[in-house]
Amino acid sequence: MTMSNDTVNSKSLPVPEKLGSYSPEDVVFLLKDLSDVHLERPTEDREEAIQGGTHYSEMLPVEYRPTPEYLALFHETLEETAREVSLAAGIVSERLRARHGTDFVLASLARAGTPIGILIKRYFREVYGAELPHYSISIIRGKGIDENAVLYMQRQHPGRRIQFVDGWTGKGAIRKVVEEARETMAAKYGIELDDDLAVLADPGRCSETFGTREDFLIPSACLNSTVSGLMSRTVLRGDLIGPDDFHGAKYYKEWLEDDVSNVFVDRVSSYYADIQAEARLEAEKLENLPEANVSSWQGMKDIARIQHDYGIADVNLVKPGVGETTRVLLRRVPWKILVDRLDNPHLRHILLLAEDRGVPVEVYPGLTYSCCGIIKPMNGGTP
């Protein structure tokens, strides 16, 4: 059953709060502030709860406080890769402009998508003088998209296309949730969404709008809240989030002295004048390349091989790609890390984190990805 526009427009929706360390000119967070709620659980306890059936969105990991050595590596990596990241952001932006012009809404998926959405917004502003509305919203595997956030964007910008944005692809789980959201919003509200997910890097080959399919290091993957506007992962729990609320998150103001969120987006966007012509040329090439406009889901074939070789029954214990492997090391309980080769320059922070946590690293030739993190099962056995 679909709802009429009158019904949609009469639905009570929350008002956005001022959250995060980014400028409101860069992004508006459509999230409920849960900063005063204690949601963090120690890594081992949280892992046991997740593998025991508690949904990951009902609690938060304890934020990793980077060592001085690790922070120095972040800044060094940012200097080395800023132009490469800038070019990828430019290519994505040019592909979006070629398809949709300059009149659409950016909806970045909190939190890894938020800095990427800012980079795209800044590109359109600097290169084309266009101000794209940009919101950061919650989408949760197993629970779906924040419907109130979608309704809010639709009400604020009637008739405008919503473009979803994330940082990278792993197995493609979030792309599938976006596809489910398209069906849900059409069935419940009569709202037509496009399930296209724009990402900087698509090593899983499950997006049609990307800057590169190389599994390269995006420095914003190295850290948690301190490179994502000081925002936590998003939270969806019945006792905290009502039917007329946005999904929730915490704003870690106490981490302000460690915040490099604006350092990252400022440094990357400073290259736009330099990469603009190259980005346009590369985007044109990709738009005319048939295989760059389809999803082969090649990454999932890698995952099946890893599951077979290591006897892993639960696919959720396998987290492929630089971004997802980093997350495993920062907030899960890793069993081992697989890498394509030890001298891969995109893996220096992975090797540092693995050494710090005492996690074994194995070379696994033939990976589509640069690396893959395997989470330790908490039932006392090996995967």
Q: What is the pLDDT of residue 63?
A: 84
Residue 163 is encoded by which pair of tokens?
């473009």
Lowest mean pLDDT among 110-119, 166-175, 294-303, 362-371: 294-303
What's the whole-number mean pLDDT along residues 118-144? 97
What does the CA dihedral 241, 247, 251, 252 come to, rounded to 10 degrees?
A: 80
Cα distance from N-terminal residue to C-terminal residue, the chain: 43
What's the whole-number mean pLDDT along residues 12-26? 95
What's the whole-number mean pLDDT along residues 302-323? 92
- Give the H or E element holding residue 319: strand 318-320
281 plus 309 within the same structural domain:
no
254 plus 344 within the same structural domain:
no
What's the whole-number mean pLDDT along residues 291-314? 88
- Give the H or E element holding residue 6: helix 5-10
Q: Is 68 domain-assigned? A: yes
Q: Is the pLDDT of residue 8 over 70?
A: no
Summarised one tens digit per residue, pLDDT across range 194-207 is 999 999 999 999 99
74 plus 221 within the same structural domain:
yes
Summarised one tens digit per residue, pLDDT across range 223-237 is 889 999 999 999 999
259 plus 138 within the same structural domain:
yes
Domain assignment of residue 237, given as a range = 5-293
Q: Is the pLDDT of residue 9 over 80?
A: no
Q: Is 381 domain-assigned? A: no
Q: Is the pLDDT of residue 2 over 50?
A: no
CB 315 within 8 A of CB 172: no
Picking from 234, 264, 293, the residue at the C-terminal end of a domain is: 293
Q: pLDDT over 90 for what percent of the chain?
A: 74
pLDDT band at 282 (very low <50, low <70, confident <90, very high): very high
**Domains of the chain: total:** 2
Q: Is the pLDDT of residue 43 over 90?
A: no
Residue 60 is encoded by which pair of tokens?
């938060």
Q: Is the pLDDT of residue 246 over 60?
A: yes
Q: Is the pLDDT of residue 259 over 90?
A: yes
139 plus 116 within the same structural domain:
yes
State the pTM of this model: 0.92
Q: Is 166 domain-assigned? A: yes
12 plus 130 within the same structural domain:
yes
* pLDDT mean across residues, the chain: 92
What's the whole-number mean pLDDT along residues 195-221? 92
Q: Is the peptide bond before 141 cis (omega within 30 degrees of 0)?
A: no
349 plus 257 within the same structural domain:
no
DSSP characters over 235-299: B--TTT--TTSPPEE-B-GGGGGG--HHHHHHHHHTTHHHHHHHHHHHHHHHHT-GGGGS---HH
Q: pLDDT over 70 for what percent of the chain?
A: 96
